[in-house]
């Protein structure tokens, strides 16, 4: 079978591998669809703190079970794979914060992922509840979005977002668009989506966003005052690695507003200074969000199945595995929104 393997930074290759064999209690999945994520691009270009080389990339995975040694899963089941294989025993797992499991393995990071034709799933991974049945009304390609949407859900839950709150989303890429649709499903009072690329905002025009803004703002405070009648934003969601966190961004928050750091920061943007009094007197919060849990993957699949988040519109191209290099270039150059690899 073919697989896209990252041997080291900037060294991605297509290689023939032996079809994996399943272990006792495990299953074998024929990968049907996997999504190219910006995290994959980052791993190729710069590595990642959670990445082990060499590695078959791909953590947004769906497929069909073709062999099973497990009574809970049968041949022919259509499944989505939540990428985190957790221990279930550490303090974080016991608290339900499984994305911070102390012994976590992650498909496409520490174990081989979905940019291939077949994946063997161990009994340990199955016990970690990583497999979710795909609802009958969803295609494999649509179900791929469960993982990135689950990450958005994680952010919303950490930020304790409530109906009738306002949200500013900076970055109209796949995550920003998913977040906009998710915020709408949560009953957001006002949704503002900002990007510096005109074509991305034009694409996002059909998402039901209240305001689309083309901007490369350096001073967000005055910019957002015009859009919120000086009240401020309840939640600012950073879906871009290129944004600088500064005084004006924090000052744009409403009382008890939250700034959610969803994306990792580009080199040179990761360190910043803020006025702590803005947080103290305004009861504002600076929050990080990373990854997702299996339970959040299930919530995401349900939202997609109920058409509360319509992901099909985000697919701009479907390619074969042998076309992955061209697909990665389109993601890098931002000429495509979401590319799905189908086998």
Residue 265: which residues within 8 A CB-CB, separation 6 or more? 241
Judgement on whether residues 282 and 319 belong to the same structural domain of the protein: no
Judgement on whether residues 136 and 202 belong to the same structural domain of the protein: no
Query: Is the CB of residue 163 less than 8 Å from the CB of residue 317?
Result: no
Residue 54: which residues within 8 A CB-CB, separation 6 or more? 5, 6, 7, 8
Judgement on whether residues 96 and 125 belong to the same structural domain of the protein: yes
Judgement on whether residues 85 and 167 belong to the same structural domain of the protein: no
Q: To the nearest whole number, what is the mean pLDDT of the chain? A: 92
CATH of the domain at 332: 3.90.180.10
**Structure confidence by residue, pLDDT tens digits, 225-264:** 776 666 789 999 999 877 778 777 888 899 999 999 998 7
Q: What is the model's pLDDT at position 48?
A: 84
pTM over the 0.85 mark? yes
Judgement on whether residues 251 and 124 belong to the same structural domain of the protein: no
* CA contacts within 13 A on the Cβ side of 283: 3
Query: Is the CB of residue 126 less than 8 Å from the CB of residue 25?
Result: yes
Instruction: Specify if 153 maps to a domain.
Output: no
User: In Å, how far are 151, 246, 310, 328 from 299, measured between CA atoms?
Assistant: 11, 34, 14, 29
Judgement on whether residues 139 and 201 belong to the same structural domain of the protein: no
Q: What is the model's pLDDT at position 203?
A: 87
Instruction: Specify if 21 maps to a domain.
Output: yes
Instruction: Specify if 72 maps to a domain.
Output: yes
Q: What is the model's pLDDT at position 275?
A: 86
Instruction: Specify if 128 maps to a domain.
Output: yes
Residues of the chain with pLDDT under 70: 217-222, 227-230
Q: What is the model's pLDDT at position 247?
A: 77
Q: What is the model's pLDDT at position 248?
A: 78
Instruction: Specify if 155 maps to a domain.
Output: no
Judgement on whether residues 227 and 239 belong to the same structural domain of the protein: yes
Domain enclosing residue 321, as ranges: 2-147+291-342
Judgement on whether residues 20 and 82 belong to the same structural domain of the protein: yes
Three-class secondary structure of residue 152 per DSSP: helix
Q: What is the model's pLDDT at position 218?
A: 60
Instruction: Specify if 152 maps to a domain.
Output: no
Judgement on whether residues 101 and 210 belong to the same structural domain of the protein: no
Domain count, the chain: 2
Instruction: Specify if 297 maps to a domain.
Output: yes
Judgement on whether residues 40 and 108 belong to the same structural domain of the protein: yes
135/279 Cα distance (integer angstroms): 43
């Amino acid at each position: 079978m073919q697989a896209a393997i990252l041997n080291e930074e900037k060294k991605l290759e297509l290689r023939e591998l032996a079809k994996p064999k399943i272990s006792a209690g495990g299953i074998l999945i024929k990968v049907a669809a996997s999504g190219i994520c910006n995290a994959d691009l980052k791993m190729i270009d710069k590595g990642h703190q959670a990445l082990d080389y060499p590695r078959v990339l791909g953590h947004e995975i769906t497929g069909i079970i073709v062999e099973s040694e497990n009574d809970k899963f049968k041949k022919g089941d259509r499944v989505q794979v939540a990428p985190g294989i957790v221990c279930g025993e550490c303090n974080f797992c016991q608290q339900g914060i499984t994305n911070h499991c102390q012994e976590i393995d992650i498909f496409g990071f520490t174990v081989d992922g979905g940019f291939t034709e077949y994946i063997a799933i161990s009994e340990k991974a199955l016990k970690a509840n990583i497999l979710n049945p795909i609802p009958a009304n969803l295609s494999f390609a649509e179900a791929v979005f469960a993982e990135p949407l689950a990450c958005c859900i994680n952010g919303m839950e950490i930020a304790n977002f409530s109906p009738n709150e306002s949200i500013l989303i900076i970055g109209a890429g796949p995550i920003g668009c998913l977040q906009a649709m998710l915020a709408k499903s949560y009953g957001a009072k006002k949704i503002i989506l900002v990007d510096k690329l005109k074509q991305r905002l034009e694409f996002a025009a059909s998402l039901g966003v209240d305001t689309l803004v083309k901007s490369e703002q350096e001073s967000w405070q005055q910019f957002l005052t015009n859009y919120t009648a000086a009240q401020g934003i309840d939640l600012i969601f950073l879906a871009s690695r290129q944004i600088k966190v500064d005084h004006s961004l924090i000052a744009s928050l409403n009382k008890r507003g939250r700034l959610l750091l969803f994306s990792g920061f580009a080199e040179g943007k990761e360190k910043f200074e803020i006025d702590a009094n803005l947080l103290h007197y305004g009861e504002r919060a600076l929050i990080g969000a990373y990854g997702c849990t299996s339970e959040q993957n299930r919530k995401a699949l349900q939202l997609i199945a109920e058409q509360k988040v319509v992901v099909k519109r985000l697919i701009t191209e479907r390619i074969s595995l042998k076309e992955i290099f061209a697909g990665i270039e389109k993601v890098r150059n931002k000429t495509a929104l979401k590319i799905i690899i189908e086998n």
